[in-house]
A = this chain, B = another copy of it.
Amino acid sequence: MKRSGEFEWISRYLSPLAGENSFQLKDDAALLPVPDGSELVVTQDAVLENIHFLSDDPVDTVAQKALRVNVSDIIAKGAKPFAYSMALGVPDSWEDHEMLRFCKGLEADQQQYGLSLTGGDTYRSPERLCVSITMFGTVTKGQYKSRMGARAGDLLVVSGTIGDGAIGLKVATGELLVKAGEAKNHLSAYRLPNPPLPLAKAIANHATASMDISDGLLGDCRKLCEASNVSARIERSQIPLSGAVEKQIKADENLWDAVLAGGDDYQCLCTVSPEQWQAFQIAALDDGISVSEIGKITGDGASKIYLTNNGVSLSQTVESFTHF
C-alpha cells in the first residue's frame, strides 16, 4: 500500500486548506473570528460510505457533497458560510492518490463557497470513509432565520428545482434505468447538489422561517410546520421540476414519491409574507436564484401538510427519508 503517515498527510494535503487563524493545522484548536454586528452560526452533518454516498462515487465529489450538505444548512439560516472543521475517518483501502483527490474536491468547494479549514481530526475508519463536517457561518445580528417563524397567510417557497437528487440516486443505484446520454446529468445532481449561496441575503432580509430540504420536501415541510405550530397547503403542480426530472415523471407517475419525499435536494424551503414576496423574488433573481411559490401556510395548528394536484386532494404516506 502506498500511503504516507498520518502527520505527513495532514501537513501535505490538509494544511494548504487551512485559514489564517488555524495555525497551518499545527495547533490543537483554532480561533474563529466573528465580526462586530454579526452572530456565529454552527451546524454539523456527517456522511458515511454506503449510507450517505455510494462506494463508487468519486471521492472528490464525496468531499464536495460533505461540504455542501452543511453549506446548505448555513444558507437556509440566512447566514454566509466561511469556515469548517472536519473529522476524517480514512478507510484502510485508501492510498495517497485517494487522499489527494479528496482534498482537490475540498479545495474546489472552498473556492466556490468562500471557505477555509479550521482543523479537526484524521483517524482510521477500517471499513468506511466517514466525513464529519462542522460548518460555521455569520449572520447579521438578529437576522438568523429559524424554523419557528412561519405564520398563517405566509407563502411557502422553494429555491431551484426539487427531486433531482432523489431521482439521481435511483439512477446511481440502478433502480431507474435511463438512456446513456441522460445518466450523467442525473448522477451529477445526486453527487453534487447546488445549495443557493446568494439566497442567504434574501432569506435574512425577507423570510419569516427557513430550512433546507435534505430529508424530503413533505417531511421537512412538516418539521417547519411543527416548529412554527402551523399547517401547510402544497400544490403539487407548482413544485418546480428540472426538465430531466419532468421527463422521468411523465414516463412513470410513481416517481412523484421520490420528488416529494426522497430528499437530497439541498434547496431552501422558506416562508415569506405576501407583503415581502415581491422584494424576496427580486432579491433572489438579482442574484441569479430562481424561487417558486408552492403553497401557503394556514393557521391550523395541527402541523398537517395538505397536498393537492390542480386543486384535488392527494394522499401521501411517505414524507421523508429517515436513518432508522
Alpha-carbon distance between A123 and B53 when the two chains are bound, in angstroms: 13
**By the criterion CB–CB under 8 Å, are A324 and B227 in contact?**
no
**By the criterion CB–CB under 8 Å, are A85 and B134 in contact?**
yes
Q: Digitize A87-103: 1 where CB-to-B-CB distance is under 8 Å, 0 elsewhere.
A: 10110000000000000
**By the criterion CB–CB under 8 Å, are A212 and B28 in contact?**
yes
Interface centre among A31, A137, A226 (most CB of B within 10 A): A31
Alpha-carbon distance between A27 and B323 when the two chains are bound, in angstroms: 18
Interface residue A249 (Cβ < 8 Å from any Cβ of B):
no
With A123-B46, A134-B85 as known contacts, state yes or no: A31 contacts B41, CB within 8 Å. yes
- Stretch of A32-40, A170-178, A274-282 lying at the B interface: A32-40
Interface residues of A in 119-137 (CB under 8 A from B): 119-128, 130, 132, 134, 136-137
**By the criterion CB–CB under 8 Å, are B32 and A42 in contact?**
yes
**By the criterion CB–CB under 8 Å, are A147 and B42 in contact?**
no
Interface residue A261 (Cβ < 8 Å from any Cβ of B):
no
**By the criterion CB–CB under 8 Å, are A52 and B123 in contact?**
yes
A123 CB contact (under 8 Å) in B30, B226, B323? B323
Alpha-carbon distance between A204 and B222 when the two chains are bound, in angstroms: 47
Chain A interface bracket (under 10, 10 to 19, 20 to 34, 35 or more): 35 or more
**By the criterion CB–CB under 8 Å, are B147 and A28 in contact?**
yes
How many copies of this chain does one complex carry?
2
A183 to chain B: closest CB distance in Å? 27
Alpha-carbon distance between A90 and B323 when the two chains are bound, in angstroms: 10
With A227-B26, A324-B124 as known contacts, state yes or no: A87 contacts B132, CB within 8 Å. yes
Q: Which B residue sits closest to A22, measured CB to CB?
A: B42
A51 CB contact (under 8 Å) in B44, B74, B124, B226? B124
Interface residue A109 (Cβ < 8 Å from any Cβ of B):
no
A146 CB contact (under 8 Å) in B27, B46, B146? B27
Interface residue A189 (Cβ < 8 Å from any Cβ of B):
no
Alpha-carbon distance between A128 and B51 when the two chains are bound, in angstroms: 13
Alpha-carbon distance between A29 and B73 when the two chains are bound, in angstroms: 7
**By the criterion CB–CB under 8 Å, are A23 and B121 in contact?**
no
With A30-B41, A40-B31, A73-B28 as known contacts, state yes or no: A46 contacts B148, CB within 8 Å. no
- Stretch of A1-9, A56-64, A287-295 lying at the B interface: A1-9
Interface residues of A in 201-255 (CB under 8 A from B): 211-212, 223, 226-227
Interface residue A48 (Cβ < 8 Å from any Cβ of B):
yes
12 contacts between A and B (CB under 8 A): A23-B227, A26-B147, A29-B79, A32-B40, A32-B41, A32-B42, A43-B85, A46-B89, A48-B123, A122-B323, A125-B128, A134-B134
For the complex of A and B, the 6 pairs showing the least CB-CB separation, nearest first, are A132-B132, A46-B87, A29-B43, A134-B134, A28-B73, A44-B85
Beyond known contacts A44-B121, A44-B132: 12 more, CB 8 A cutoff: A5-B324, A23-B146, A27-B77, A27-B146, A27-B148, A27-B227, A29-B42, A30-B41, A30-B43, A44-B86, A46-B123, A87-B87
